[in-house]
Amino acid sequence: MAGDGSAAAELGALAGGLIATARDFHGRGYSPATSSNYSARVDATSALITVSGRDKGALTPNDFLRVDLDGRPLSDGKPSAETLLHTLMYRRDADIGCVLHTHSPRGVVLSRLLAGERKLDLEGWELQKAFTGIDTHESTLRVPMFDNDQDMARLATKVDAKLPKHVPCFGCLLRGHGLYAWGRDIATAARHVEAFEYLFECELALRLRR
């Protein structure tokens, strides 16, 4: 994390915000063991992301590295295997400032329960208003779903092609894998994750009773 004092301070603040978020999510069971990855935009051409294989409940500032928006490291270290899905979102939308990927049981189980489905429509839940720009529960919050793929470049291409471009979209599910959610900054993205987790739990309970 080289650079002048202000740049180093900015990177330190982003790492600190992601560390606090990761510890919170780890404590809630959203990111067990070394699963999940977290990133934040640094500027128009780069992002800070967790390095591969770190326990998300015990991150330190040394567990991050800077990458360009094609996923190439700009410093020593091995970025998360899923870096391309993070940098895709930063390239797609200049207003996205943070991407958080979690592995909670709710999203994983719900996505497998909906085998073959390409989307999850959340409707009529009061907590839909936790998402930026949504001010009524009388709306549909669409969550695209994708089959997981070990080929990250291929998966990123598929996600890029299928994510909606002209309606609000705050996250997507990889089947049997987990949630990707984003927002304009770390706090907003974390709020979106928390809201998704609540809504997934409600949907899962409702569907299992049918």
User: pLDDT tens, 157-202?
Assistant: 999 999 988 788 999 999 999 999 999 999 999 999 999 999 999 9
What percent of the chain is predicted at pLDDT more than 70?
98
Cβ atoms of residues 183 and 192 within 8 Å: yes
Predicted confidence (pLDDT) at residue 2 exceeds the cutoff of 50: no
Handedness of CA 147, 114, 118, 167 (dihedral sign): negative
**CA 168 remoteness from chain centre:** 15
Cβ atoms of residues 155 and 149 within 8 Å: yes
- Maximum distance among all Cα pairs of the chain, rounded to whole angstroms: 59
Residue 198 vs residues 2, 14, 94, 113, 125: alpha-carbon distances, Å:
39, 26, 27, 17, 10
Predicted confidence (pLDDT) at residue 3 exceeds the cutoff of 70: no
pLDDT in tens, 126-139: 999 999 999 999 88
Residue 35 vs residues 5, 88, 131, 163: alpha-carbon distances, Å:
32, 20, 25, 24
Task: Please tell me the distance from the alpha carbon of residue 35 to that of residue 10, in angstroms, as a whole number.
Answer: 26
Listed residue (205, 196, 199, 204) closest to 25, CA to CA: 196
Task: Please tell me the distance from the alpha carbon of residue 194 to that of residue 210, in angstroms, as a whole number.
Answer: 25
Listed residue (164, 194, 158, 157) closest to 179, CA to CA: 194
pLDDT in tens, 82-101: 999 999 999 999 999 999 99
pLDDT in tens, 160-172: 999 988 788 999 9
Mean pLDDT for the chain overall? 92
